[in-house]
Amino acid sequence: MMDTANGGGGDIGGTNGGGMSEEELERQRMRPADVDADMREMGRRKRVDAILNSKTFKSELDRLVEVGLIDGNSVGGCLQQISDMMGIRTPGGNVQAAQCVQPIADLRGAESAQFTKQEKMLRCRLASLFRVLDLRGWTAGSHLGTLRISQDAEHFLVNPHGLLCTEITASSLLKTDMQGNLLHPGSTGLALNAGGYAQHAAVHAARPDLRCVLTVRQPAVVAVSALRAGLMPLTEDAAVLGQVSVHRPAGDGDTQRLAADLGVSAKVLLIQNRGALCCGETVDEAFYLLSRLVTACENQVRMLPLGADNLQLLDEQQQQDVYDAARRPPSRAADSPSHRASAWRLGQLEFEALMRQMDNAGYRTGHVYQHAVRADGPPGHQSDVEYPPAASGYSFDTEDIFSYSPMRKMFAGARAGERTRWLNSPNVYQKLEVLETGTSEPKTITKVSGVKVD
């Protein structure tokens, strides 16, 4: 009793000296967080109500249901379209999972310090090439690609055996010497395809000018390699390749004869019944020749059912003209410092365009671009008269929450008219200076008045 009267000795019945229980104090302390949560919930409900009460949303929903009934789309597909339209992300959905991209340039920290700058660039470029093969659908069969790091040291980058083209990154590539001894195991722990690498090593040893060698097992290329006539000069894609050599395997130990069949000038070698080898001084050139070879073989396979007697071949002069035109630098290379003819390589512009496409898709290729796609110089100044602040700072109302949805085009014209409506106003605004009234010491006041122009 004495402790209670003196205010010490603790609470009676779960209350403190102020008469409040611990639960009430806890609720009072948590009240600001609860209020914030309630406000967020109210804002979310307000936004949902605005969407559901929108006429544009109702019309778009009716259209989706109607199209789904006609085309036979599944309920999940319609729900996914509605989620995309409302900006709702669905974790774990198939669409979001398909958008996950493994970056190519994955060399970071201490792992990146053990490679030279040139080797890191070459790793990213060779890994990007395999990703392009996967995007083009040319990954049927086993693929092998080797790239010489430098002319001084006989070190090569090669993709590990058993790794899909869509899984290859800069860090996963193996580094070997000419004999196939592993110098760097990569980040996967997978081994080297010794049989395929022996063919590539023979080509690198016989032709030091060819830094990149690619094995092609695309079905159309394999079909043409099995033909007795081989690749025929039917199209310009076939003429661009120039001399195409043929190798007929005789056993497992004929790698030296394979290099001899390639010759001293050819860069494309058809291996009978097995596909082809595409070689180049750079990765860009090797991929350029590979893409032209695939296209030429696909066209030839389509033409063969017409009959050999009905096919018209290109004559030697036509083939030479196409070959020379493909290796002639672009006309802009002569008058632009950033497009020097000496710096241009076969297939470089096409390969850089593919790298831009992949970078925009989120692949993070790590490619160092040599040719800019924009004109040199800083962007021009935007005048406030052309783009006034009132127009650029226009805020959308509730109906415009779909401005980034598939209905954007529907409202583009209406919004554009609202933004620039005041620019076409027939009024003229003037500044007038008048004296203040009702005081002994009047001050000058500036007013803006609008005059209606007929």
- Cβ(168)–Cβ(162) under 8 Å? no
DSSP-assigned letter for residue 382: P
For position 449, what pLDDT does the model report?
64
For position 453, what pLDDT does the model report?
47
For position 384, what pLDDT does the model report?
41
The span from the CA of 403 to the CA of 418, in Å, is 14
For position 91, what pLDDT does the model report?
46
The span from the CA of 83 to the CA of 89, in Å, is 7
The span from the CA of 410 to the CA of 372, in Å, is 35
- The H or E element spanning position 258 is helix 255-262
For position 288, what pLDDT does the model report?
96
CB atoms within 10 A of CB 384: 9
Q: What are the structure tokens assigned to 443, written together?
A: 């001050």
DSSP-assigned letter for residue 15: B
- Cβ(235)–Cβ(211) under 8 Å? no
Amino acid at 19: G
For position 70, what pLDDT does the model report?
55
- Cβ(221)–Cβ(139) under 8 Å? no
| Burial degree of 201 (CB within 10 A; 0-12, 13-18, 19+) | buried
The span from the CA of 40 to the CA of 234, in Å, is 68
For position 286, what pLDDT does the model report?
96
Which residues fall within 8 angstroms of residue 109, CB to CB, at 6 or more apart? none
DSSP structure string for 178-230: TT--EEE-TTT-----HHHHHHHHHHHHH-TT--EEEEE--HHHHHHHTSSS-
For position 388, what pLDDT does the model report?
42
Q: For residue range 183-238, what is the model confidence (pLDDT) as tens digits?
A: 999 888 898 988 889 999 999 999 999 999 999 999 999 999 999 999 999 999 99
For position 192, what pLDDT does the model report?
92
For position 7, what pLDDT does the model report?
44
Q: For residue range 263-308, what is the model confidence (pLDDT) as tens digits?
A: 999 999 999 999 999 999 999 999 999 999 999 999 999 999 998 8
For position 224, what pLDDT does the model report?
95
Residues of the chain with confidence (pLDDT) below 70: 1-36, 67-100, 142, 252-253, 332-342, 372, 374-430, 448-454
Q: Which fold has domain 109-335+342-348?
A: L-fuculose-1-phosphate Aldolase (3.40.225)
For position 17, what pLDDT does the model report?
46
- The H or E element spanning position 444 is strand 444-452
Q: Please report, for the chain, the start and end positions of each structural domain, with discontinuous segments joined by +.
A: 23-98, 109-335+342-348
End-to-end C-alpha distance for the chain, whole angstroms:
93
Q: Which residue, 247, 280, 240, 248, is CA-closest to 262? A: 247
